[in-house]
Amino acid sequence: MNIGEAAKQSGLSTKMIRYYESTGLLTAAHRSDSGYRLYGKNDLHTLEFIKRSRDLGFSLEEVGKLLALWQNRERASSEVKALAREHISVLDQKIQELTELRATLNDLVDHCHGDDRPDCPIINRLASGSCCGS
């Protein structure tokens, strides 16, 4: 199949497929006589694996590790679990940071009159540099 069909079937854009190829996550596609990229079922399966991994928030580096573990039939599942646990820890940290940002923004919104006056605590905090972990 050509790159357009691979994109449609995998749910990725052609640009992302080219990018994954350029980073080495996906092996370089075979080329037709006219130079078009050609993908097979294994390539499509790999693209779907990459997409699902990215949908779960894994970084490109982590996806590379997961791909290597997936392709290694002698891997220990403990390696996969450790990588997933590490990712959960990163997600927990991001959730904490986002929760704190939301609380700060909620506080600012609660203290803003939202009327015709120019005084605005949101603008004041942004201008003072005292918000958002600064």
- Residue 55: the pLDDT is 97
Please state which CATH number belongs to domain 1-58.
Answer: 1.10.1660.10
The structure's pTM equals 0.80
Q: At what angle do helices 3-10 and 14-23 cross, to 10 degrees?
A: 100
Secondary structure letter of residue 28 according to DSSP: P
Q: 22-58, pLDDT tens digit by residue?
A: 999 999 999 999 999 999 999 999 999 999 999 999 9
- Give me the chain's average pLDDT, please: 93
- Residue 41: the pLDDT is 96
Q: 3-25, pLDDT tens digit by residue?
A: 999 999 999 999 999 999 999 99
